[in-house]
Structure 1
Amino acid sequence: MPAYHSTFLDQESNDARIVGNFAILPIKTKFRGPSYPCSADEYDIIDEILDLFRPNSFFKNFEIKGPADRTLIYGILYLSSCLNLLNSRVDESEAVKVLNNLALEDFSIPGDLGFPLNSLYLPPSSRQEADLLRGYLQQFRQELGARLIARIYKDTKSSPSKYWLAFQRKKFMNKSL
Structure 2
Amino acid sequence: MPAYHSTFLADESQDTRLVGNFAVLPLRTKYKGPAFPASSDYDIIDEVLDLFRANSFFKNFEIKGPADRTLIYGILFVSQCLNALNASTTQNEAVRVLTNLALDNFSIPGEIGFPLNSLYQPPRDKNEALFLRQYLAQFRQELANRLIARIYQDSNLPSKYWLAFTRRKFMNKSL
Aligning the two structures, in what range does the TM-score lie when normalised by the shorter sequence? Answer: over 0.9
One-letter amino acid matched to 1:97: R
Q: Indicate the SS of the match to 1:93.
A: helix
Query: 1:171 maps to what in 2?
Result: 169
Distance 1:23 1:12 in 2: 8
Distance 2:143 2:153 in 1: 15
Q: Indicate the SS of the match to 2:167.
A: coil
Q: How does 1:136-155 map to 2 (within 5 A)?
A: 136-155=135-154
What whole-Å deviation, never above 9, does each CA across 1:60-102 have from its counterpart, x for those lacking one? 0000000000000000000000000000000000000000000
Q: Which runs of 5+ in 1 are unaligned?
A: none
One-letter amino acid matched to 1:17: R
Distance 2:90 2:167 in 1: 20
Query: 1:96 maps to what in 2?
Result: 95
Question: Considering only aligned residues, what root-mean-square deviation do their CA atoms show, in Å?
Answer: 0.7
Q: Which runs of 5+ in 2 are unaligned?
A: none
Q: How does 1:1-177 map to 2 (within 5 A)?
A: 1-39=1-39, 42-157=41-156, 159-177=157-175
What whole-Å deviation, never above 9, does each CA across 1:27-82 have from its counterpart, x for those lacking one? 1000000000124x521000000000000000000000000000000000000000
What whole-Å deviation, never above 9, does each CA across 1:97-147 have from its counterpart, x for those lacking one? 000000111110000011010000000001111011000000000000000
- Superposed displacement of residue 165, structure 1: 0.2
Identity %: 71
Q: Indicate the SS of the match to 1:18.
A: strand
Q: Indicate the SS of the match to 1:160.
A: coil
Distance 1:151 1:51 in 2: 10
Output the TM-score relative to the length of structure 2.
Answer: 0.99
Structure 1's consecutive aligned runs of 4 or more residues displaced over 2 angstroms after TM superposition are none
Distance 1:14 1:132 in 2: 20
One-letter amino acid matched to 2:115: P
